Structure 1
């Protein structure tokens, strides 16, 4: 369909102008299918994204991939619904165009949108998942950790230095990305929570963690999300910010569980950059003497439930 409003890379537009010419809606979020044309527009705004914990929009360091965070502020993002226009754009013959917010129209509150260029969804690896907070729906609701879809969009033409600088570099471009996140989890996509353990064991482990945190009056707890290349993100168990101790909890105190906890902690602590970080295993009861010796020789601490209280063996700093 011919248009009187051509899209020129680097030029400034408003969403209102684009809606009039190409269709869609100004209020339809960051992903807008044009109902007057075979187009899909995506809009990125770093200042808005940071409010929701999104740190992923931007180019790869070499400019060959534009990472774009999908839609949905609560729960795990999915390919359907508001993200469908990006997922299906090629199959439906729609061209995909991206814009970055760039100031406001003089004298108005209307944001200007700088045209980045045309893109296609990477057919080999359409997106990766990364951790992000869930937007609370009630005042008394605690923030939770979920996963968002970060689309991999490939530029149809080369990216100029000016456009690269206007958009910036995505955090996904790092080989490793570690983020401190709330304790609560609202996701099934994390590697460590994807069904590798039985439901009963997970429930017992969660109860143990809750009891332990409740017993540590005055301590502040969080977790760490660790993203590595193209793998599902890792999610640690609780991190005691007060004592700088990272705990791996297990529902049982047998050899298999203790050895798994040791391996997980050794994996995690390579990626968590905290001065004087200590690591410890949290168990529902005292393990056998040989397993206690294993933890000591590995430089790991131990916390276990003894009646209504928890006993500790100190951990060494890594």
Structure 2
């Protein structure tokens, strides 16, 4: 689309170098240029990993999944996101770059992947993801298709559990989550996910020690970029678990809603539901869980767990 753009896929340069030649800002993930008909997109696996996802090639290598901009609250189809979505209408090319170095003097290096366009039939979809404060919000995930020659590397594959068709429900092995961030450097969202992962792993081991078969449901839904996974599914007694790393009211209310959503799609009539917590919440919150027809399971000292069921006195 822009004959003046002569960068070959695989070339490495800083944002400043690119801005000096073709315009656009140097701070945001999506940078429309006012000097040339381009929208410059930047993907940074190290930064995206802090929020639980990494943009990249979907299986098959014909679509690149790219999360829109906005680090707090629900993302909106405005500003850079709108420029990306309407690039054809605006006569602009999408130019994708991936971080190729950490911070350094003179600016971080970025590798040019090539020119893309949003998919004609399915340009974008909404997905839940944590924001910079660790709060769950809605993000826009754009489906980008190559235009002409691009650089494809297997190391640039997306780390999303990509949905290819739906709806579908599959019983799969528990996906082990290993958190590697230190307490000093971890984001609020990273800390919350680590606490949930540790709690889930402890309870899985607790159930299996009692002879239970523990799995997960992988739910492929129409209009979703990523598949949903239940935290745990006790196949021995047909019970779905949602774990939270906090006993705050907001977390417990969210768990109740997630469980109700899962049960709509899990093909197990009458499946029981349970909220898994790191400690006993207040009596009022225990009552909130049980009044919704769910069990409240929480960790006690010495790694033991206690259950308060819908008909069990607390």
TM-score (norm 1): 0.57
Give the aligned partner of residue 200 of structure 1: none
> Residues of 1 paired with 2:23 and 2:293: CA distance?
65
Match of 1:120 in 2: 117
Task: Count how many residue pairs are aligned between Structure 1 and Structure 2.
Answer: 224
Change (3 A) 1:265 1:154: closer
Q: Which runs of 5+ in 2 are unaligned?
A: 165-169, 178-197, 201-215, 231-239, 246-251, 276-288, 295-306
Listed as ranges, the matches of 1:9-88 within 5 Å are 9-27=9-27, 29-53=28-52, 55-88=53-86
- Per the alignment, in what secondary structure is the counterpart of residue 132 of structure 2? coil
Aligned to 1:97: 95
Match 1:303 to one of 283, 286, 309: 309
SS of structure 1 residue aligned to 2:69: coil
Q: Deviations for 1:241-265, whole angstroms, at most 9, x for unmatched residues?
A: 79xxx99859xxxxxxxxx969818
Displacement, 1:49?
A: 1.1
Pairing 1:173–2:159 present: no
Report the 3-state secondary structure (helix = DSSP H, G, I; strand = E; otherwise coil) of the residue aligned with 2:139.
Answer: strand
For 2:217 and 2:82, how far apart are their aligned partners in 1?
26
State the Cα distance separating 1:227 from its structure 2 match. 5.8
> CA offset at residue 157 of structure 1?
2.2
Q: Which residue of 1 aligns with 2:242?
A: 239
Corresponding residue for residue 284 of structure 1: 291
Q: How high is the TM-score relative to the length of structure 2?
A: 0.58
Superposition pairs for residues 164-313 of structure 1, below 5 Å? 164-173=153-162, 228=220, 230-232=222-224, 239-240=242-243, 249=256, 264=263, 267=266, 279-280=273-274, 282-284=289-291, 303-304=309-310, 310=314
Cα offsets for 1:269-302 (capped at 9, x unmatched): 9xxxxxxxx8449542889xxxxxxxxxxxxx98
C-alpha change, 1:279 and 1:159, in structure 2 (3 Å) is same
Partners of 2:223 and 2:124 lie apart in 1 by 11
Q: What is the CA RMSD across the aligned residues, in angstroms?
A: 4.3
Q: Is the 8 A contact 2:24 2:40 kept in 1?
A: no
Query: CA offsets per residue over residues 183-222 of structure 1, 9 Å max, x none?
Result: xxxxxxxxxxxxxxxxxxxxxxxxxxxxxxxxxxxx969x
Aligned mates of 1:262, 1:112 — CA distance in 2: 42
1:226 to 1:109, Cα distance in 2 relative to 1, 3 A: farther
Equivalent in the alignment of 1:150 = 141
List runs of 5+ in structure 1 lacking aligned partners: 137-142, 181-218, 251-259, 270-277, 288-300, 311-318
Mark the CA change 1:305 to 1:102 in structure 2 (over 3 Å): closer, same or farther: same
Shift of 1:159: 4.5
Decide whether aligned partners of structure 1 residues 279 and 25 sit closer, same or farther in structure 2, where only a CA change above 3 A counts: same
